[in-house]
Structure 1
C-alpha cells in the first residue's frame, strides 16, 4: 500500500470524534426511547398519553425540518451541534430531577421529549452536513456506513435492554444517563477542527442575508431542480407511506396471520435489525461491485418483494427472511442516498436539502401510519395493507426506474 493510498484509507481523527459522538448520543436516544413509554405507563394507563409521549419527539421533524435545515446552513455547524447537545443534556437532566422528586407528569414528559426532538432536527441535520468537510469525498460511503452501523448497534440493539434495565434500577436513571451521553457528545464535537460557516447567499437587492422563508424556498428548489434528488425524495416518501401503512398493525399480523406470541414477534423484528447491521457492512463493497444506480433499482424490487411475501406467506421463517433482506436494503439505500446527496449538493445548501429530504421521509411515515390502521379496519383483512403497498411500490418502481440510471456521484 502506498503512502497516498494509506492516507486515503484513513478517515482521520475528526471523523473518529464525530463517529464516537454519534455513537454515544444514539445509545442515549435509544435508552430514552425505551424508558420514556415505561415512565408514562408507570404514571397512567391511558393509551392516548403513551401515544402522545411517543409522538412528541417525532413531531418536530414534521414541523421544523425545513426551518432547521435553513438554520444549519446559516450557522457554524460544529458550534450548533455542541450547543444543541448541551441543551438536550440539560433538558433530560431536568427531567431526571423531576422524576426523582416525583413532580414529572405526562405534560412535562411530553414537553421534555418535544424539546429534545427539536434539538435532534438541528443536531442530526448539522452533523450530516458537516461530514463532507470531515472526510474525503471518495470515503463518504465508508464513513456513512460506520455511522449507520453505530446507529443500528446502539439505538436498536444495545439501548433496548439497557434502557429497560436502567429503568428497573431507578426511574430517573435512564434520563440521567442520556443527559450524560449528550454532554460527552458535545465535548467530542467541540474537539473537531474549526471549519468556516458556509457563505451567505446574496439577496437580489444586494443585501447580506435573505429571509428564512427565502432560504427554505432555496432548499426546496435545490432538491427539486436535480432530477435524481427529486426522484429519491419521491421514492422515500412513497416507500415510507407504503411501508408504514402496511406495518401499522404488524403486531396483529404477527399474531393472527403467523401465529406468533410476544417473544416470536420480538424475534421477527430483530431479523430486520440484523439485516440492517449486515447492510452497513456491505454497502461500500456492493457499491464498488454493482454501482449506485443498480443498487437503488434493486432496492425498489426488494420493497415490492417484501410486501408480496408478507401478503402471501403464513410461515414465520419466510417473513423473517424477507425482513432480514429488507433490513440489508434499507441500510444500503440509506448509505448510498446520503452519500450521493452530500456529493451533489453544494456545502451552502446541504442543511436545507437534508431538511427537505427529512420532511419527505418522516412525513411519509406519519401519513402511512395513519392510512394503515384505517385500511386494515375498513377492509377487515389483515393482509390488505400489504397488497396495497405492493401495488403502490410497483407503480413507483416503474415511474422512477429510468431516473435512477443517473444516480451516481
Structure 2
C-alpha cells in the first residue's frame, strides 16, 4: 500500500508491506461513529423524501419552493469557515452529540407542528436553514475526529466503510422508507428523523473521551481570535499544493454535479427517452455505483495511491459525462451514471483521506471547512449555468460542457500531485 506520514507539515509517501487495515477495529469508537453516521443518513434521507411533499402542499409557487432549497446552501457560505474554527476550539465529541440532540429536538418539534396542522412555509425554510447551520459544525468536527479513532494508515478503509454505509442507508433504505412513511402521514418521516438524531447523539456521547481530548487545541495564545484561526487554516490549505488542487477540483466537480442534478430528469426522460418507470431505475444506477465505489475505493487507493486514484476517478467521470451527453439511450445513461457513482465515491473517500493525512489534527476543522465552503459554491452556480445553457441549446449540451469542466478538475489534481511530488513528471 501507499501510505503517508506527516513530517514538518508535508506528507512523504512510501511503500509499505502491510495495508494498515488491521488497525481498523469496529469495537470502540469507530464502530459507534459509523453507526451514528449511518443512522443519521437514514433519517436524513427519510426527511428529504418528505420535505418536498410538505413544501408542495404549502405553496404552488416555484420561487417559494426554491427558497427552501436555497436555505440548505446558504449556511455553508455564511458559517462554514466559522464552524471550522469552532470545531478546532471545542471538545469535538461533545459538540457533535449536542448538535445532534438539538437537531433531533428541532425536527421533532416540526413533526408535532405538522401533526397539529400548524405548518407554514416560513417554518420549513427556518428548519432547513437551522439544520444546515448545525450541520456545518457537525461535519467539520466529524472529519477531524476520525483520525483520533483509527490509525492513519487505516483512514482510507475507515472513510470508505463510513461512506459506503451512508450510501446504502440513504439510497436503498432511507429513500424507500421515506416514501412509505409519507403515506402514513407527513409528520411520520420527521418523527423518525428526529429519533435517529437522538439515538446518534447517544452513540456519539459514548465515544471514548480520549479521542475528544486529543482533538482539543492547546490553550490559545493571548489575543488569538477566530478570524486569526480561520486565516491560519486558509494558509495551510493554500500552501499545500495537493490540498489546494483538491479544493479547486472540488469546486469544479460541484459545478458539474449541480448542473447534472438540476437537469437529470430532463436528461433521462427527454434526451435518453426513458419512461417514468425507467427513470427511477436509471437514477438508482448512480446509488448502486456509489455503493460499489465505496467497496473498492480503499483497494484502488492501495494500488495507485490516493492522488493517482483521484486523477483516475475524475478522468472516468469525464468519460461518463461524454457518454451521457452523446448517447441518447436509457441503458447507456444508466451504465454511465453507475460508473460515475463508482468514481465519485472514490473521489470523496480519497479527497477526505488525503486531507486527514496531510493536515495536523488541531487544524483539521478549519482546513476541511475551507474546502467544503469553497466547494459548496459550485452546486448552485452549476445549476444556474446548466439551466441557462439548456435554454439556448438542448438538454444534453450542458452535460458535454460539464465533461470539459470535469477534465479540467482531473488536470488540476494531476498538476497539484506533481507539484507535491506524489506523481512523477
The TM-score, its normalising length taken from structure 1, stands at 0.93
Residues 1:32 and 2:47 aligned together: yes
2:377 alignment partner, SS class: helix
**Which residue in the other structure is 2:168 paired with?**
153
Aligned pairs for 1:5-404 within 5 A: 8-194=23-209, 195-196=212-213, 197-200=215-218, 202-203=220-221, 207=222, 210-377=224-391, 379-404=392-417
Moved more, 119-128 or 182-191: 119-128
SS at match of 2:234: helix
**Cα pair 1:86 1:182 within 8 Å, conserved:** yes
Q: Report how far residue 9 of structure 1 moved.
A: 4.6
In structure 2, relative to structure 1, the CA distance for the partners of 1:201 and 1:386 (3 Å cut) is farther
Cα distance, 1:300 vs. partner? 2.2
Q: Could you tell me how far 1:14 is from its partner in structure 2?
A: 0.8
Instruction: Report what 2:12 is aligned to.
Output: none
Question: After superposition, what is the alpha-carbon deviation per residue over 1:48-77, rounded to whole angstroms, capped at 9, x for unaligned?
Answer: 233222332332122211111111001100
C-alpha offsets along residues 163-219 of structure 1, whole Å, 9 cap, x if unaligned? 12112112211111111111101100111111215224755xxx1x52111121111
Partners of 1:49 and 1:15 in 2: how far apart? Answer: 41
Larger CA deviation: 358-367 vs 185-194: 358-367
Deviation digits for residues 149-176 of structure 1 (CA, Å, limit 9, x no counterpart): 1211112221111112112112211111
Instruction: Give the Cα separation in 1 of the matches to 2:259 and 2:345.
Output: 20
Q: Is the 8 A contact 1:248 1:369 kept in 2?
A: yes
SS in 2 for 1:10: coil
Following the alignment from structure 1 to structure 2, what is the Cα–Cα distance between the partners of residues 103 and 202? Answer: 46
Aligned alpha-carbon RMSD (Å)? 1.9
Distance 1:126 1:395 in 2: 30
8 A Cα contact 2:25 2:31, kept in partner:
no
Q: For residues 275-326 of structure 1, what are the alpha-carbon distances to aligned partners after superposition, in whole Å with 9 as ceiling and x for unaligned? A: 1000100011111222223211212211221221122101211111111111
Q: What is the CA deviation profile of residues 6-63 of structure 1, one whole-angstrom value per residue up to 9, with x for unaligned ones?
A: 9625243111111111111111111111111111122222222332223323321222
- Please give the alpha-carbon distance, in whole angstroms, between the structure 2 residues aligned to 1:61 and 1:262: 34
Aligned length: 400
Give 1:257 shift: 1.4
124-133 or 5-14, which moves further after superposition?
Answer: 5-14
Q: Cα gap change, 1:201/1:264 in structure 2, threshold over 3 Å: closer, same or farther?
A: farther
Structure 1 residue 382: Cα displacement = 1.8
**How big is each residue's C-alpha offset from its partner over 1:256-288, in whole Å with a ceiling of 9 and x where there is no partner?**
211112222211111111110001000111112
Q: Quick check: 194-203 or 123-132, which moved more?
A: 194-203
Q: Distance in 1 between matches of 2:407 and 2:23?
A: 40
Indicate if the aligned counterparts of 2:310 and 2:347 stay in contact, CA closer than 8 A: yes
